[in-house]
Amino acid sequence: MTKSELIVNIASRFQHLTHADTALSIQMMLDSMSAAMINDDRIEIRGFGSFSVIIKPPRTARNPKTGENFLVAAKHAPHFKPGLKLKNG
């Protein structure tokens, strides 16, 4: 499901909300979640799952074409762990 499909789905379920209000609400929620993850905060939505940021340490990689080794810098990566309700269906 894309963000626009989510907006249409929610707007159709709640007739008193306009499409623009629904889009704004979803965008604000996603912006808040992004800001929290940028600040290395963990987000937990009971029954759905949790979002966190993991730090991948620097590592040595190899170029398969030349065989040359090089260093890949450390990086932050988003991580999602599904909740029990989502995992078990």
On the question of pLDDT at 88 being above 90, the answer is: no
The answer to whether residue 89 scores a pLDDT higher than 80 is no
Q: Cβ(78)–Cβ(53) under 8 Å?
A: yes
- Digit-coded pLDDT (tens) for 17-62: 999 999 999 999 999 999 999 999 999 999 899 999 999 999 999 9
Q: Is the pLDDT of residue 6 over 90?
A: yes
C-alpha 18/C-alpha 89 separation (Å) is 31
Which stretches within 1-89 are classed as H helix? Answer: 3-13, 19-38, 84-88
pTM of the model: 0.75
